[in-house]
Amino acid sequence: MAQAPAHADQIIQARWIAPVEGPARLLNDHAVVISGTRIVDILPAAEVGRRWQATETLRLDNHLLMPGLINAHTHAAMNLFRGLADDLPLMTWLEQHIWPAEGKWVSEQFVGDGTRLAAAEMIRSGTTCFADMYFFPEAIARVATEAGLRASLFCPVLDFPTPMGQGPDDYLRLATAAADNWRHDPLISVGFGPHAPYTVSDEPLQRILTLAEELDCQIMMHVHETAGEVQGAVDAGGERPLARLARLGLLSPRLLAVHMTQLTDDEIRQVADTGTHVVHCPESNLKLASGFAPVEALRTAGVNVALGTDGAASNNDMDMLGELRTAALLAKGVAGAADALPADAALAMATLNGARALGLDQLTGSLVAGKQADIIAIDLSALETRPVYDPIAQVVYAAGREQVTHTWVAGRCLMAERQLLTLNTGRILRDTQTWQENINA
């Protein structure tokens, strides 16, 4: 006697599925079965009716299903500063434009409205999880929850006053409070975000390391972003920033070192040996002329390299598909090898590697039974992505974010057929216009 089909909440059938993890690189004419927040099965579409029945079934005959993109480093609220200070080197950009603007405008309201604008852009671009390092992290958490996005929040720590506090004592107090307040939320995690070696002294860094171990959380820091940063550290203290972080014990699987454009061969080996993660932000680095991260050398050494957009004030978008293409092309130019960072590895960098860096790889980053249903669908039927010989390469080298049609996080649909389902576009545009007028004035 045939067994009755099991019940699920959703079945999504697609022309192709890119699991990113597991024995199959690409699945043709398969279905993802979702129950609650999790994937419970992935199987050929021809077999799904015999084994499963669902409350909702969606057929996507021209689409690739893949894990949601993971933006492993951004400053979401800075979307409100998009285009404010273009075509400037990093320190001029920071010291003469961004820091003064933040001092004047940043507040919980600014952070909430800016993050909401960014959340809408991320959902429409296929990002399902973002790692944020910005002021008022609980305001970011509230908007991420409203939007339905998964978020890892790294509370900023600096030696000097900002709109959020007077110094390290204030920042660490706010960080530990946020970690406590959000510790039971399934989509939110909280860690520490010391800004950079040149803005945080030894004593706060040692306290951060102790607290991170006590709370079992990650640390994110801008490291070796420019040659000037490295030379300045050598001139001031006689050692390169990475050597100082190693001396303090920060190099470990807890650390996400962002940018890392200035690395010696010995430093690459040290990063690999300590299990430190690197977050590559190619478009921001290019725009600020900061340098080129040696991605292929890092990968060859065994370093986990994730991908981030950085903030929209220095990118100027949060388009992870665009970032993915730039990363794949730039890696070839830097390495001088056409086979450097091939399409599959680039896709992993934007998904599973990001999850691994954030300590979330048991939950997300790939389409595997048992993981959270963080999924996007990309329509490859447009003339810009035809013909389709290799759907994965087509996504990396040809597809645009406007071809992302659906976005799910933990089984919840946040966008269907390009329509946002959790955020009010009209409200976001009105709030953004108000901020533009105020800042312009």
Contact between residue 306 and residue 360 where contact means Cβ atoms under 8 Å apart:
no
- pLDDT given for residue 283 in this prediction: 98
pLDDT at 162: 94
For position 42, what pLDDT does the model report? Answer: 98
Model confidence at 90, in pLDDT bands (50, 70, 90)? Answer: confident
Question: Look-up: residue for tokens 């993915």?
Answer: 324
Q: CA angle, 272 as apex, 271 and 277 as ends, to 5°?
A: 65
Question: What residue ranges do the domains of the chain occupy?
Answer: 6-67+369-410, 69-357
Average pLDDT over residues 67-84: 97
The residue-averaged pLDDT of 173-202 equals: 97
**pLDDT score of 189 more than 90:** yes
Task: Measure the N-to-C terminal CA separation of the chain; round to a whole number of Å.
Answer: 75
**69-357 shares the fold of 6-67+369-410:** no
Low-confidence winner among 93-107, 189-203, 291-305 (lowest mean pLDDT): 93-107
Average pLDDT over residues 391-395: 98
CA distances from 51 to 5, 32, 290 (A): 4, 12, 54
**Residue 250: pLDDT over 60:** yes
Answer whether residue 415 shows pLDDT above 80. yes
pLDDT at position 2 over 70: no
Which regions of 242-394 does DSSP assign to beta strands (E)?
A: 255-259, 277-280, 305-307, 375-379
Confidence category of residue 361, pLDDT binned at 50, 70, 90: very high
The CATH code for residues 69-357 is 3.20.20.140
- How far CA 191 is from CA of 306, 337, 348, in Å, comes to 17, 37, 23
> What mean pLDDT do residues 250-268 have?
98
Q: What is the mean pLDDT of residues 9-27?
A: 97
Token pair recorded at residue 142: 């509230």
Q: What is the pLDDT of residue 1?
A: 53
The pLDDT assigned to 441 comes to: 85
Q: Indicate if the pLDDT at residue 385 is higher than 60.
A: yes
Q: Which residues contact residue 42 at a Cβ distance below 8 angstroms, ignoring those fewer than 6 apart?
A: 17, 19, 27, 30, 31, 32, 33, 367, 368, 369
Q: For the domain with range 6-67+369-410, which CATH number is right: 3.40.1160.10, 3.40.190.150, 2.30.40.10, 2.40.50.100? A: 2.30.40.10
Tell whether the model's pLDDT for residue 168 goes beyond 60.
Answer: yes
Residue 304, classed as helix, strand or coil, is coil
pLDDT tens for residues 33-63? 999 999 999 999 999 999 999 999 999 999 9
Q: What residues pair up with 31 in beta bridges, in sequence order? A: 13, 43
